[in-house]
Amino acid sequence: MDNLILSLENISKRFGATPVLKGITLTVAGNEIFFLLGPSGCGKTTLLRIIAGFCQPDSGRILLDGQDITGVPAHQRHIGLVFQNYALWPHLTVWENVAYGLKLRKLPEKFVHQRVEEMLTLTHLLPQKNLYPSQLSGGQQQRVALARSLIVRPRLLLLDEPLSNLDANLREQMRQEIKKIQKETGITMIYVTHDQREALTMAHRLAVMNAGEIVQTGTPLQIYFEPGNRFVADFVGTVNLLAGKVSGFETGLLQVETSEGLLRATGGGDFSSGQAVEIGFRPESISLRPGQSNVFRTTVTETEIGEGIMRVMATSPGGRNFLLHLPLETGRKLQAGQNLIFSVPPERMIVFPLSPSVPSAVKRNGRDKPHLP
Ligand SMILES: Nc1ncnc2c1ncn2[C@@H]1O[C@H](COP(=O)(O)OP(=O)(O)O)[C@@H](O)[C@H]1O
Ligand SMILES: [Mg+2]
């Protein structure tokens, strides 16, 4: 990466005897929104605090623009932070809150005035400039927090679940707004969330974390369509998965024997013959046109309308349940009891080594719970 700005090298941290971060290594490029996505308690906030300098790692290094900043105090790192609770000064107006960081630096009044005006314009807060935080909505307060962090032009802005106090509509609107602000200012952001939708819709790249480790890094499309393991596949969406065994290789294709017959997936370099794997596909990866490979003959059991799609539940003769997403106009014509033949192109099949500790059934929507013996 030519415009590399932040590297973490093997960062580890324990609290007492509990390891909270286990050797985190990652690189964030200039001008990107990089996401850390993972369940609550996986170590996201701890990692952000280490980057900001509020917490020291037990081992590992942090480089900012090539300089080792691991021992540099927080206030000398030029890194801004925005939290879930906005922590604005209640006794200062919007204008004064935003100006605060520049006033501390004792910059000329005229310069401060111009910068504050710029920031309030960028965050659409000019009409509210004389109000106090208690007179603002949650979204407006979070915009003040953003403006206040951005005005000092940090090298890097860290955001820790900044939208989780907002209701769903406002959150959606603020996502768009933060994306726009990032684009207009060109500031590099590291954004922490447990919300997969937020990460997939906003990130240039993201790292998925679990239990103190990064389990996969990639673009939203890579993470969604090419998850490297079961955890990522489940955490970022629903996936239809079958247990199988690698039974052979064709040119560019991996063959996997499953309870639904022989399935084919592109790639296969990393697998060996006889290896236990999980193979599957996302609900939207199917085609109703006749396919050469991965043809499933099913019966529709249920349909429901979703966000811009129809959710279709279908069962194979062997009793295997699948969740499919179809365009509304196609899906609305389907009824329970009807036969449905679909196929999945080999390049849309997801394959990864079977993880021995987790049962192999779709868990997320609760419709297809694993049967315990
Ligand atoms: N100061 C601390 N002292 C002891 N344990 C902590 C401290 N901060 C965080 N932890 C623990 O570290 C783990 C990770 O916490 P955190 O980084 O806040 O996760 P996340 O932000 O992903 O929810 C949790 O088990 C949490 O209880
Ligand atoms: Mg947290």
Those residues with Cβ within 8 angstroms of residue 306's Cβ, 6 or more apart along the chain or in another chain: 325
Instruction: Give the tens place of pLDDT for each residue, 45-90.
Output: 999 999 999 999 999 999 999 999 999 999 999 999 998 777 899 9
Whole-number pLDDT of residue 356? 63
Residue 1 predicted with pLDDT over 70: no
For the stretch 342-358, pLDDT in tens is: 999 999 999 999 876 54
What per-residue confidence (pLDDT) applies to 252?
Answer: 87
State pLDDT tens for residues 294-308. Answer: 999 999 999 999 989
Question: Are the C-beta atoms of 283 and 324 separated by less than 8 Å?
Answer: yes
Per-residue confidence (pLDDT) for residue 291, from 0 to 100 = 85
pLDDT digit string, tens, across residues 285-334 = 999 988 889 999 999 999 999 989 999 999 999 999 999 999 999 999 99
Domain boundaries, the chain: 4-225, 238-353
| Confidence at residue 254, expressed as pLDDT on a 0 to 100 scale | 95
Q: Whose CA is nearest to atom 14 of ligand 1?
A: 43
Residue of 18, 20, 235 with the most ligand 1 atoms within 8 Å of its CB, for mutation:
20
Residues in the chain, total: 373
For residue 175, CA distances in Å to 74, 211, 238, 263, 350 come to 27, 26, 23, 39, 29
pLDDT of residue 10: 98
Average pLDDT over residues 191-215: 97
Task: Report the separation in Å between the CA atom of 363 and the middle of ligand 1, taken as the mean of its atom positions.
Answer: 26
Three-class DSSP category at 361: coil
DSSP string, 49-74: HHHHTSS--SEEEEEETTEE-TTS-G
- How far, in Å, from the CA of 4 to the mean position of ligand 2? 26
Q: Checking DSSP bridges between strand 33-37 and strand 205-210, what pairing results, if any?
A: parallel
* 40 pocket-lining for ligand 1 (C-beta < 6 Å): yes
User: What average pLDDT does this structure show over 269-273?
Assistant: 86
More confident residue, 210 or 2: 210
- How far apart CA 171 and CA 163 sit, in angstroms, is 6
Summarised one tens digit per residue, pLDDT across range 213-237 is: 999 999 999 999 999 999 999 999 9
pLDDT digits (tens, 9 = 90+) for 144-186: 999 999 998 899 999 999 998 888 888 888 899 999 999 999 9
Dist. CA 46–CA 39, nearest whole Å: 13
pLDDT of amino acid 373: 30
Q: What percent of the chain has pLDDT over 90?
A: 79
Q: Spell out where the chain has E strands.
A: 4-15, 18-29, 33-37, 59-64, 67-68, 79-82, 156-160, 188-193, 205-210, 213-218, 240-250, 253-258, 261-266, 276-281, 295-305, 309-315, 321-327, 339-343, 350-353
Looking at the domain that runs over 4-225, which CATH code has it been given? 3.40.50.300
Counting ligand 1 atoms within 8 A of each CB, the residue from 22, 36, 37, 45 with the most, and so the one to mutate, is 45
What is the pLDDT at residue 362?
Answer: 38
42 lines ligand 1 (CB under 6 A): yes
3-state secondary structure of 191: strand
Ligand 1 touching residue 44 (CB < 6 A): yes
Distance from the alpha carbon of residue 131 to the mean position of ligand 1, in angstroms? 35
The rounded distance, in Å, linking the Cα atoms of 209 and 206 is 10
Q: Which ligand is the nearest neighbour of the Cα of 54?
A: 1
pLDDT value for 166: 84
Compute the radius of gyration of the chain from its Cα atoms: 24
Q: Which residue has the higher pLDDT, 124 or 369?
A: 124
Rounded to the nearest integer, the mean pLDDT of the chain is: 91
Count CA within 13 A, CB hemisphere, residue 46: 23
- Residue 146 amino acid letter: L
Are β-strands 350-353 and 276-281 bridged in parallel, bridged antiparallel, or unpaired?
Answer: antiparallel
Please give the Cα distance from 179 to 187 (Å, whole number). 11
Predicted confidence (pLDDT) at residue 2 exceeds the cutoff of 60: no
Q: At the topology level of CATH, where does 238-353 sit?
A: OB fold (Dihydrolipoamide Acetyltransferase, E2P) (2.40.50)
